[in-house]
Structure 1
Amino acid sequence: MTDQTSDVRAHRAPKAEFTVYFAIIFIAALPLAVIAWLLAGLKQGDLTIKGPVSRAWSQARIITPMIFSA
C-alpha cells in the first residue's frame, strides 16, 4: 500500500495575491452579510447572532482558496 502522507504540502504564508483577492472578496461580501445579519435579526428578534463582519470573513475564507485551487 502506498503512503499518501509522505508528500504533504508545506504550509506557507499567504502571498500578496491571495491577500488582495481575500480583501476584494471580503469587501464584496460585507454588504450582503449585513443584509443577511439584519434579516436574521428581524426573524429571530435577536442581533447577538454571528455578526456581519464574521459572516463576511467566513465567506472570504471559503471562497478565496477555491479560486487558487482551480
Structure 2
Amino acid sequence: MTDFTNDINNMRDAKRQRQITREYQVYFGLIFLAAVPSCTAIWAYGLVRHAKMPAQGPIQSAIGEARTITPCIFWA
C-alpha cells in the first residue's frame, strides 16, 4: 500500500514557504535600502584612503549585507 502522508505534508510546507518568501523579500529590500548609504560611504572611504577601486562596489556590498542580515531575522 502507498503512503501519501508525506505528500500532504509537502503541500502544506510549500504553501507556508511561499508566504515566508514574500515576507523575506520585503525584509531583504528594506535592509538593502538601509545598507546602501553606509556601504557607499565605506566604499568611498576605501577609494580615497587606498587610491584604488575596492573589490566590490557599494551595491554589491549592500546586497551582501542584506543576504547576511535577513536570514538572521527569520531563522534565529
Q: TM-score range by the shorter chain?
A: 0.7 to 0.9
Q: TM-score, normalised by structure 1?
A: 0.77
Count of residue pairs the alignment pairs up: 60
Q: Which amino acid aligns with 2:67?
A: R
Is this contact kept in 2: 1:22–1:64, CA < 8 A? yes
Q: Which amino acid aligns with 1:60?
A: A
Counterpart in the other structure of 2:10: none
- Find the partner of 1:60 among 49, 58, 66: 66
Query: What is the identity percentage for the equivalent residue pairs of Structure 1 and Structure 2?
Result: 36
Q: Which runs of 5+ in 1 are unaligned?
A: 1-11
Q: TM-score, normalised by structure 2?
A: 0.71
Q: Which runs of 5+ in 2 are unaligned?
A: 1-16
Distance of 1:18 and 1:39 partners within structure 2: 31
Say which structure is richer in helix: 2
The ranges of structure 1 where at least 4 consecutive aligned residues each deviate by more than 6 angstroms after the TM superposition are none
Q: Radius of gyration: which is bigger?
A: 2
Is this contact kept in 1: 2:43–2:58, CA < 8 A? yes
